[in-house]
Amino acid sequence: MKKGLFTLAFCALALYAEQSTVRVSKQYGVNYLPLIVIEDQKLIEKQAKAAGLGEVKTEWITFSSGANGNDALIAGQVDLVSGGVAPFLRLWDKTKGKVKGLVALDRASYYFNANDPRIKTLRDLKKGDRIAVSAIKSSFQAVLLQMATAKEFGIENYDKFDSQTVTLKQPDALLQLISDAKEIAVHVATEPFNTLEVQSPSVHPILSSREIVGDLHTNLMVWTSEDFYVKNPKLAKAVYAAFAEAIDWINADKKRAAQLYLRVVKSRESFELIYGIIENDDLQYAIKPTENTTLFSDFLYSVGAIKSKPTSWKELFFEINH
């Protein structure tokens, strides 16, 4: 009898045991600074221990786009994906809401930079002008290009430049944009790549996502599956607390945050450049998404890219962020 009770108790503990490892995807750039802080200071491990979960290990995987992160999440290779709003919305729609946002990372802009003085607006693009994005059609950069094109040429022409987009990691796109070879004509960039690009005498800005949307918007976020969220309630809260702590830490001392970024990513950029980006009002680290997040889902719905249309950002995020 005692043996049977012990077996039942052990099975119950196993059933409710939470993961001892959490796998997180990350990408390149200053906008991902909260993730860099969390990894460097082991904040998920810290918050998990405080929640009574014991020793939790965090594994970090770098991808070039949120679309790649989505593939890994579906395949069960990661638990948390970081990336732009657009690839998240596609997976939210595909899974019928079984994947939702856990936290937002920032409120920021993307920047369209060109290396030909002929190109001053989208109307100046010719058929041979290639446009670099992190993933064709599915990335946030690609969707912003479609939104800008729809605004300029009409919604029926939203995909006018899709055939001219090429997939490049942002560091690679930077190098190609400023090179004499001019293999690409435009790069849709985040920081610090935008600032590095416009420092080149051959590169100039032609558009920003702030102009397309009308204001700053949630740019990057972290999402996960309902399965992970429900089966690991304490761990999910610990992860949320880690992001909150990291964002508060950044906002409390942006000089300190710039120094950490330079040290961890082994960046060759100057402190003045990185600090200037972090303290600029065009980049704000915030865990809450902006109300205008649904502008992107409205657009994707209008062109048939997603089948469901959320009426509020709260439909897109787990309750912990409401």
Percent of the chain surpassing pLDDT 70: 95
- Residue 49: pLDDT above 50? yes
Q: Tell me which amino acid residue 179 is.
A: S
Return the number of other C-beta atoms located less than 10 Å from residue 2's C-beta. Answer: 6
Residues 6+ apart with CB under 8 A from 213: 147, 292, 295
d(CA 185, CA 125): 9
Percent of the chain surpassing pLDDT 90: 88
- Give me the domains of the chain, ranges plus CATH numbers: 17-107+218-321 (3.40.190.10), 111-213 (3.40.190.10)
Cα torsion angle, 305, 309, 312, 314, sign: negative
Question: Cα dist. 270→37, 190, 276 in Å?
Answer: 19, 17, 10
- Residue 308: pLDDT above 70? yes
Retrieve residue 148's tokens.
């800008």
Are the beta carbons of 232 and 226 closer than 8 angstroms?
A: no
d(CA 66, CA 230): 23
Q: Which of 184, 189, 182 is nearest to 205 (CA)?
A: 189
Q: Which of 310, 313, 311, 309 is nearest to 290 (CA)?
A: 313
Q: What is the pLDDT of residue 65?
A: 80
Find residue 60's DSSP bridge partners: 24
Q: What is the mean pLDDT of residues 110-123?
A: 97
pTM of structure: 0.89
Burial (CB count within 10 angstroms: exposed 0-12, middle 13-18, buried 19+), residue 9: exposed
**Mean pLDDT of the residues in the chain:** 93
Report cis status (omega within 30 of 0) of the bond before 310: no
Q: What is the pLDDT of residue 6?
A: 46
The alpha carbon of residue 120 and the mean position of all alpha carbons in its chain are separated, in whole angstroms, by 28
Residues 6+ apart with CB under 8 A from 143: 84, 86, 296, 299, 300
| Digit-coded pLDDT (tens) for 140-170 | 999 999 999 999 999 999 999 999 999 999 9
Q: Which pLDDT band holds residue 7 (cuts at 50, 70, 90)?
A: very low
| 158-162 LR contacts (CB < 8 Å, sep 24+) | 158/303, 159/303, 161/122, 161/125, 161/131, 162/136, 162/137
3-state secondary structure of 180: coil
Are the beta carbons of 219 and 289 closer than 8 angstroms?
A: no
| Digit-coded pLDDT (tens) for 222-263 | 999 999 999 999 999 999 999 999 999 999 999 999 999 999
| Digit-coded pLDDT (tens) for 24-43 | 999 888 999 999 999 999 99
Out of 64-73, 80-89, 280-289, which region has the weakest mean confidence (pLDDT)?
Answer: 64-73
Q: What is the pLDDT of residue 28?
A: 86
Residues 6+ apart with CB under 8 A from 58: 21, 22, 23, 24, 38, 39, 42, 44, 45
Question: Cα dist. 193→9, 177, 256, 286 in Å?
Answer: 55, 10, 21, 21
Q: What is the pLDDT of residue 50?
A: 98
Q: What is the pLDDT of residue 16?
A: 60
Q: Which pLDDT band holds residue 19 (cuts at 50, 70, 90)?
A: very high
Residues 6+ apart with CB under 8 A from 197: 113, 174, 177, 178, 187, 189, 203
